[in-house]
Chains A and B, each alone.
Chain A
Amino acid sequence: MIDTTSYSTIRGNSTEYFTLLGWLALMVLAGLGASWYMEHNGHWVTGMDNQVVWGTPHVFAVFLVVAASGALNVASIASVFGKTEYKPLSRLSALLALALLAGGLAVLVLDLGRPDRLIVAMTTYNFKSIFAWNIYLYTGFFAVVGVYLWLMMDRPLAKFSKGAGTFAFLWRLILTTGTGSIFGFLVARQAYDAAIMAPMFVILSFAYGMAFFLLVLLALYRWTGRPLGDFLVGRLRNLLRLFVAASFYFVLVYHLTNLYGTENHGVERFLLLDGGVITALFWVGQVLVGYLAPMALLYHPATRESRANVVLASILVVLGGVAQMYVTIVGGQAYPLNLFPGYEASSSFFDGAITAYAPSVPEIALGLSGVAMALAIVTVALKVLPFAAEDLSDARMDPNSAAKAE
């Protein structure tokens, strides 16, 4: 089918546009400063240590990487599954996916002990490492989605975009499987070591990516005054609530599976009952803010039609997602490794002790800079190339709108 949608760049010359860019640039600079501070002094100035080796930067980085693959979903639904009503959103979807991945990877790299050795990571591989696979999957994602975008935007070539879209969809599934497997393959840590990690991350990516996409879409069309009808917003809302419900299901299965084995009761007790901040973040952040509240808002007839509630629910899903990554990444390490089952262990190296991790300001600044970098890339790209459809009103998008009007 020929795409007759008109796309155009945004003007991007208002005070608000430059104010937004200015704030984002400041956040990116703060992150770069934080990274320099951490590298210059060494990581002891952060909250991370030899017990919790991955901290807040990884929470944001993994969240952004997962969200990136999910943000591509809207384009996939159009290209792969033939839902043409989503087609006008495909370019924005692909752009956001690239931007989120760039933001996430930047945080990951800037937290390395030796970020100056990035070239080593790009040239020296151990092919048994999931990390090494991910380096290929991530760089490949840029290439695959980049080509997909080009085929979508170069109209004479648009007929090839379905194939490219299918390839990108498969690539993103493998990519998120790889991200989940970073944790799933860690046999020694009781909170990880679960095959369900990989599909769970795929489902999480659907929710995080859709929430991010909705926020960017709604902000973009509101701030530029372009028409965006309730038909599309309603469709995306329905997908978001479904993805959130599916995420909740996977998390339930993950914990119930863990609870079945008595050996894991200790770590589950820590996560779900007496883990302090981790437990609070699980129940309040992940479950209440991340799943229950958005599901209530998006399913209940009294609230689901309001666009403000869609925005609110999307923000909650994002916040819940960050909480979930915190519980997964920090919580999984804060609980001690069980070297000697049946024994109480103690040592000068915190054997048998639960680690109290507190994020430091530089870590938070670095993490947030990844979000800012992603949004800044989108903000600038929208001004440079025609990613955004001009008209997404119901009259244009909803096949039933004419009938309704009669």
Chain B
Amino acid sequence: MSAPASDPRFESARRRFLQGAAALAAVTLAPGVTLLAPRAAGAAASDKVRWAMLIDTTKCDAGCDHCVTACRDENGWTGHDRARTDPHWIRKVDLRDRATGATHSLPVMCQHCETPPCVDVCPTGASFKRADGIVLVDKHICIGCRYCMMACPYKARSFVHEDVTGQKPHAPRGKGTVESCTFCVHRVDAGQQPACVVACAEKAGQGAMVFGDLNDPNSEIAKAAGRHVTNRIRADLGLNQGVLYHGL
């Protein structure tokens, strides 16, 4: 008889296995997709970790939106075919340089700022940042005032304008509250990569998105960030976001 999933011996064995796998740090599942160290059940998020994403816009095709589709499927933020009010946790933005005419395409989502304006302005503290840098909305205390949406420089947040259906247990939503990209916190805590990163690597075959712990010098993202010139959107605001771009 196999051990039930809740068996502590099994859990600790699983953790040891996953931690060991993460320690190898080179377990590549697909281009750019490595295993992460899972957060132990019950343990608080650690400020030793800085979850971050590096997006290589030179690998990002204008017509491709696998990251958007994967995010929608993973987190269940379906809309009602009403463009103005439907939610967008992640979107593809097409850019054209006014001077040269050069074009770029890139995904934009919550930038998981180190000093997030949405957290500053939220009257109830529903907008909050975890110790490991992930910015989230506590749906239980969000009163739907939308001040965070006014404050966010990246238009990263959506207000839930109507009834929600098909919710995922790991991504609760609520009419009248605000929501945004969670960096797939449920996956990250379980040692998995965010859904967009996996889709970019596996479905788009690009690996334009790298996710990991920026504080870990051996992580793929730290190495990539060291190799490339990276930018942050509106770096002039000094928000030190967790989403970095290369190629802009």
Contacts and interface: CB of A to CB of B under 8 A. Distances in A.
Which DSSP category, helix, strand, loop or mixed, fits chain A's interface? Answer: loop
Interface string A12-30: 0000000000000000000
B94 A346 contact: yes
Interface string B143-175: 111110111111101111111000000000011
A129 B117 CA distance: 10
A188 B146 CA distance: 15
B3 interface: no
Nearest to B161: A44
Contact of A135 (B93, B96, B99, B123): B123
A342 interface: yes
A54 B146 CA distance: 8
Interface centre among A41, A117, A333 (most CB of B within 10 A): A117
Interface in B70-111: 80, 82-88, 91-99, 104, 108
A131 B96 contact: no
Given A187-B117, A188-B151, A343 B96 contact: yes
Interface in A49-69: 49-51, 53-54
Nearest to A39: B176
Interface residues of B, number: 58
A130 B96 CA distance: 37
Interface residues of A, number: 48
Contact of A53 (B95, B108, B127, B150): B150
11 contacts: A49-B84, A50-B149, A113-B143, A113-B146, A120-B141, A121-B143, A131-B122, A333-B150, A345-B94, A346-B93, A348-B91
Nearest to B164: A42
A53 B146 contact: yes
B121 A185 contact: yes
B76 to A, nearest CB: 17
Interface in B193-221: none
A347 interface: yes
A343 B85 contact: no
B176 A188 contact: no
B67 interface: no
Given A42-B161, A182-B147, 4 more contacts: A117-B141, A128-B120, A339-B108, A351-B155
B57 to A, nearest CB: 11
A344 B123 contact: no
A137 to B, nearest CB: 12
Interface string B17-36: 00000000000000000000
